[in-house]
Amino acid sequence: NSSNHVRIVEVGPRDGLQNEKAMLPAAIKIELIDRLSDTGLTTIEATSFVSPKWVPQLADAAEVFRGIRKAPGVVYPVLVPNLQGYERAREVGAGEVAVFTAASEAFNRKNVNASIDESIDRFVPVLERARADGVAVRGYVSTVLGCPYQGEVPVADVVRVARRLHELGCHEVSLGDTIGVGTPAKARAMLRAVAAEVPMAALAVHFHDTYGQALANILACLEEGVRVVDSAVSGTGGCPYAKGATGNVASEDVVYMLHGMGMTTGVDLDRLVETGAWLAGQLGKATASRVTRARTAA
């Protein structure tokens, strides 16, 4: 892929906030998304319509989605695990959704209380309804480079699940290193294997930075041809059902690297840094973004 443009999928309001100890009020979440809408980001995952018993941090999904300013040219996908989630999302006008499963059976069981195939069965009707409604569906595959319960995850399992999601109608499949254990050569080999079955243009990469490998992994995947990268402003979050997993790679750090490489994102780094610093203040913790730390140092 010779394109110089990378689309950043900002997942902070969902993947970030779903696993923060601090429960932010809906008004602050709305302000976060509105601020992100002014940075030039074109995809902002706003929240998730999962069971509030499982993820209390996002129990206010409907209020948040209703409250955000829908900026022209920006899409606001939301996570849904089943038809019930899809219906809740549609009730408030969501125009794009994301379904999620994993390459590891053990992880999927902890995350959604179902086997991989059962979780896919649950969102087959979501994909059918979405097609009829003209709603785009993104698919996530978790634990593509390792699982907190099963350890190694065979690449063949990642390929099988990614191919299935694509066949079912997901326009984009995001490959998630949920616990941030991957390293660049492994990430590259995994992406290459998946891209043999699913077009590269339909793939995204999603790295958590637990072991500090996320930027290196992203670089390896860019070299392989991927042009969609998930990240979270200020590097917040993690997965509540993945023990020890820390936040997503920070959007500020990804944008800084890409611009430094002469690639374009359409994102205004200064505004993103401002938003990241503001969010860290709201959460009452230091930012996990090295760029924001450097730019806002006293």
The contact pattern for ligand HMG, residues 231-270, with x = CB under 6 A and - = no contact, is --------x-x-----------------------------
Name which of residues 133 to 162 contact ligand HMG (CB under 6 A).
Answer: 140, 142
C-alpha 61/C-alpha 18 separation (Å) is 11
124 is a site residue for ligand HMG (CB under 6 A) = no
Q: Residue from 99, 112, 159, 181 that binds ligand HMG (CB under 6 A)?
A: 112
Q: Which of 147, 170, 221, 239 is catalytic?
A: 239
Distances (CA, A) of 85 to 22, 90, 219, 290: 24, 9, 34, 35
For residue 13, state whether it binds ligand HMG (rule: CB under 6 A): no
Residues 6+ apart with CB under 8 A from 257: 215, 218, 219
Q: How far apart are alpha carbons 245 and 11 in whole angstroms?
A: 16
The residue among 51 and 296 lying less far from ligand HMG, judged by its C-beta, is 51
Identity of the residue, 238 or 276, whose beta carbon is nearer to ligand HMG in the bound complex: 238
The only residue of 15, 45, 60, 209 in contact with Mg ion, by rule CB under 5 A: 15
d(Cα 263, Cα 6) in Å, to the nearest integer? 7
Please report whether residue 10 would count as binding Mg ion according to CB under 5 A: no
CA distance 57 to 23: 6
Q: Is 104 helix (H, G, I), strand (E, B) or coil?
A: coil
How far apart CA 213 and CA 218 sit, in angstroms, is 9
Q: Does 45 interact with Mg ion (rule: CB under 5 A)?
A: no
- Establish if 157 lies at the interface with Mg ion (CB under 5 A): no
239 among known catalytic residues: yes
Q: Of 239 and 250, which CB lies nearer to ligand HMG in the complex structure?
A: 239
- In this chain, which stretch among 13-21, 29-37, 108-116, 124-132 interacts with Mg ion, using CB under 5 A? 13-21
- CB of 12: closest distance to Mg ion in angstroms? 11
Helix ranges restricted to H, the chain: 26-37, 61-67, 83-91, 105-112, 116-133, 155-168, 184-195, 214-224, 251-260, 269-283, 290-296
Stretch that binds ligand HMG, among 35-43, 47-55, 63-71, 259-267 (CB under 6 A): 47-55
In the complex, the smallest distance separating the C-beta of residue 13 from ligand HMG, rounded to whole angstroms, is 12
> In angstroms, rounded to a whole number, what is the distance separating the alpha carbons of residues 206 and 193?
16
Segment 46-85, which members bind Mg ion (CB under 5 A)? none
Q: How far is CA 262 from CA 163, 216, 218, in A?
A: 32, 17, 15
And the tokens for 163? Answer: 């191919």
Residues forming contacts to ligand HMG in the complex (CB under 6 A) are 15, 18, 48-51, 54-55, 81-82, 84-85, 88, 100, 111-113, 140, 142, 176, 178, 206, 208, 239, 241
* Residues belonging to the active site: 239
